[in-house]
Copies of this chain bind each other. A is one copy, B any other.
């Protein structure tokens, strides 16, 4: 079984959204061998730091929080679509339509138990890039119409420079969860099983997660 770890590494100096220092993780040693028989530490981190899943409450007042996230979403069939050849730093409906013409069979990509991961030039960069490639509102509307389970991207945000946040809102209102902070540089375009397991934190608007791709279609899915 080939396994791709597509999660960001969490460290105190990792890239965070807009490099806002308040979003950086803090690791504190609470016991060590100088004064104790054990070593222990504590973590402080923003829910949107590193690889994480956005829940509706992130942009919808009164929206669902993490405990509504269905465990069925942990293991889904998944297509990685390679947009690293795009000149523009935005993925539009037209770009998605064009890729789907190349791929051919819609039914292998879209469906209520399928996830789509957008691989972009972001995966080639380690530092936070304010001009990161994002999914615009037309692209979000296209995916919402296709009724997928989730969409992921290799940026700390799935959109930028859309003051009304239409990409987040369109997807979250359509019941499509959003995975941000993926690392896809090593992963070729194709079909996989996505395992994305968020921490079981109750009542929050986003949850840090570990995400891996399994390059095998023989795992039974619900």
Contacts and interface: CB of A to CB of B under 8 A. Distances in A.
A40 interface: yes
A37 B10 contact: no
15 contacts: A1-B75, A3-B74, A3-B75, A5-B71, A8-B200, A10-B201, A27-B204, A37-B59, A39-B205, A40-B58, A43-B45, A50-B199, A50-B200, A197-B197, A210-B210
A72 B74 CA distance: 18
Oligomeric state, in copies: 2
A91 to B, nearest CB: 21
B165 A37 contact: yes
Given A11-B203, A39-B205, A210 B222 contact: no
A195 interface: yes
Nearest to A3: B71
Interface string A15-48: 0000000100101001001000111111111111
B205 A210 contact: no
Interface residues of A, number: 59
Contacts of A1: 75, 220-222
A148 to B, nearest CB: 20
A40 B206 contact: yes
Contacts of A101: none
Nearest to A34: B61
